[in-house]
Amino acid sequence: MFYESVRCCGDKETTVSDEEASSDEDVEESDDQHDEENREGVPSPSSKPAVSGFQPQYGNEIFVFSTMPKMYSQKDILDAVGAVRHGMSYRKASSKIGVPVMTIQNRISGNVDELAQAGRPTVIPTEVEGFGITRRMLQVKIGRIVRKLKIKSPFRNGVPGKDWIAGFLKRHPDDKPVRIWNIDETSVPLLHKPARVLGPSGAKNIPGRVGNKRENVSVLACVNAAGGEIPPLVIVKGKTYKSLLSYNTEDGVSGSVYTFQERAWMEDTFGEIWFRGHFLKHCGPARPQLIIVDSHSSHETLGLIDAAIANDVHLLAFPPHTTQWLCP
């Protein structure tokens, strides 16, 4: 327990540590002596100021008890352990880095693992914590694990609460949704869609104000479970690079990639080209990563699969005709 003694004198106050507060015993034992001397205006020779240049007034003290531990990081613990192993004493390492001596000794002796996080040990063993689901499902499943393994826990009604979930997420910072991606293609018409119009009751055909052209472009979009996105791949209709000159690509989405195809369709080669030259550039360095795709042929080419394996990216393909049910 951390102990503080706050002494007040008029509008001033000072904080006294455990060692400095040891003189308080002498003060209490000689209260009568202090009273007589203070009446004469002569300070006690045995009294010590709490702070250099400051004379405290006895009998006007406030003692504050605090149970808050000193804060230090996992890196501080490893630095302190390393310093002791290189010859520094326990007390010097503790004073210099700010880690308690007992904490260092427990790591050195092996009583506590060096990589163990500060705080109480987890209720669920670390090797059991390793699956990603919704919070409610996580609470239910952890409750079942606790009962099945007969683990003693402070859970109310055998189900963990919000505090345990917060600690679980803190212990597994790598399980983030930014690594889970979903890609799909869509056709975007270049002409606006006809709006709903008013007409006579019973009429079967009502002219709409829209062109009769059906030209469109294909867009390959990619988003992750955290809401982030990668600039799209846009495929326009054409046979040469000149077909892109008729599009104002400069005002498009920043970072987008444009290419062409005779019918503006997604070809098998585009999947591998997009993965190597575009996805790996924007997905970030964290590994592994997951891409959820449908069963389109461009998503299951041998070149794309080899490139994904080489870059520690997993591909998960939906069964045919199930995208509308399984797509996240």
Contacts of 316-319 spanning 24+ positions with Cβ under 8 A: 316/290, 316/291, 316/292, 317/293, 318/292, 318/293, 318/294, 319/295
Residues 5-45: pLDDT tens digits? Answer: 444 444 444 444 444 444 444 444 444 444 444 444 444 44
Q: What is the DSSP letter of 9?
A: E
Residues 271-288: pLDDT tens digits? Answer: 899 999 999 999 988 888
Average pLDDT on 48-77 reads: 52
Pick the closest to residue 220 from 161, 283, 279 (CA basis).
279
Q: Give the model's pLDDT for residue 181.
A: 93
Pick the closest to residue 188 from 106, 247, 132, 131 (CA basis).
247
Distance CA 221, CA 268 (A): 16
Average pLDDT on 280-302 reads: 88
Distance CA 220, CA 234 (A): 7
Q: Which of 53-57, 165-169, 270-274, 289-293 has the lowest mean pLDDT?
A: 53-57
Q: Give the model's pLDDT for residue 151.
A: 85
Distance CA 112, CA 109 (A): 8
Q: What is the distance in angstroms between the CA of the first residue and the CA of the last residue of the chain?
A: 51
Beta bridge partners of 159: 156
pLDDT at 131 over 90: no
Q: Give the model's pLDDT for residue 159.
A: 85
Pick the closest to residue 220 from 190, 249, 256 (CA basis).
256
pLDDT at 92 over 80: yes
pLDDT at 214 over 80: no
Pairing of strands 61-66, 257-261: unpaired
Q: Give the model's pLDDT for residue 248.
A: 87
DSSP string, 59-113: T-EEEEEE-PPPP--HHHHHHHHHHHHTT--HHHHHHHH---HHHHHHHHHTSS-
CA–CA distances in Å: residue 272 to residues 189, 233, 256, 319? 25, 12, 16, 21
Give the pair of three-digit tokens for residue 191.
């002409």
Residue with tokens 């007040």: 8
Residues 93-110: pLDDT tens digits? Answer: 988 988 888 888 888 888
Chain-centre distance for alpha carbon 178 = 10
Pick the closest to residue 215 from 237, 244, 238, 195 (CA basis).
237
